[in-house]
Structure 1
């Protein structure tokens, strides 16, 4: 598996809108993105001025395919307009995972 952890710094009053964008992506785009497994958006306890996202894909190829898709770039630009700065991305191979259902 492959994925990204990303740090977002919303403009004041934009957290709810960012959350709506993520919910919309999950409804509208995720079902069409080959290799997408899961996405999470965290509100860290240590900082109310930051959000942390996690995106998990089957492999690097499916992650990169989504990242270079013009439709994804449109979504990114909508998100970026709600942030004070560019997100900080940490992409990498997932080398261990555990899931309990």
Structure 2
């Protein structure tokens, strides 16, 4: 777990804050997939499992950067799953929620 970007909301979060947040919470996973999925495809078998957040289904207040990046990661993972399924590679994400 790389942690997450700092809290904030739309009105107080500058545009410059989005790029590092996306790099931390989304693009790091994209880079890892680019480095590993081709070998999985060559073997005809592989598993990609990412842990995102329940915020991809129900955004959490004051976490605009995290909500944005994790939703983007989920879209990437779903698209990757469609693209690599025929080669024996599965792609899934876990979305843990709040626990009592």
Give the TM-score taking structure 1 as reference length: 0.28
Higher strand fraction (1 or 2): 1
Which of 1 and 2 has greater Rg? 2
Higher helix fraction (1 or 2): 2
Q: Which has the higher contact order (CA 8 A, sep 6+)?
A: 1
Give the TM-score taking structure 2 as reference length: 0.28
